[in-house]
Amino acid sequence: MPRGYLAERGYRNVQIFCSAGDCRNNLGPWEVKSVKPPHDRRDFEFFTAKDAAMAEEADVGFMLWDGQSSGTVVNAARLIAAEKPVVVYIAPEKRFRTLKSQSDLEALLSPCPSEIRQRIARYVADHARDYAQPIMF
C-alpha cells in the first residue's frame, strides 16, 4: 500500500480528513480536518460524516481501496457526482486508477462479485443520492 506515496514525492497541498480526530493515514506534515461524527460507534455513519466533508471540500479525491469497502466507493461516487476526479489505489491489484465518470466507477466495480456490487449500490443510493441511478451496477 502506498502509505508514503504523497509524502515521498513532496506533495504539500494535502488535507487529511479524520473522524473525531482519529487519523489513520496521515504520514506527512499535512493539515488535519477533524470531522465530528453523529455518534461514537465506529460504524458506517461514523466514517461517512468524514467522507462527506472531504468530498464537499476536496478538489480531487485520493483513496485507498481494498476491493470490497463500500465506504470508499460511496465517497468516490460523491466526488464523481460533483465532477471531481478520484484517484483510487486498488490494494489487491497494487495499482492506481483515475475515475472521472459513472462509467469509470462501474468499470472499477465490474470484476467484483455481484453481492459486493449490490451492497455498494445500496450504500450509494442511501449516501450519494446525487450519483445513484436505478440502472447502476
The 10s digit of each residue's pLDDT in 73-122 is 999 999 999 999 999 999 999 999 999 999 999 999 999 999 988 988 88
User: Where is average pLDDT lowest: 8-17, 24-33, 49-58, 60-69?
Assistant: 24-33
> In this predicted structure, what is the pLDDT of residue 104?
96
| Backbone CA torsion sign across 81, 30, 94, 47 | negative
Could you tell me if 100 and 85 are in contact, meaning their C-beta atoms sit under 8 angstroms apart?
yes
Helix then strand then coil, % of the chain, to nearest 5:
40, 20, 40
> In this predicted structure, what is the pLDDT of residue 26?
78
Distance CA 38, CA 29 (A): 28
Q: What is the pTM of this model?
A: 0.80
Domain chopping of the chain, boundaries:
5-127
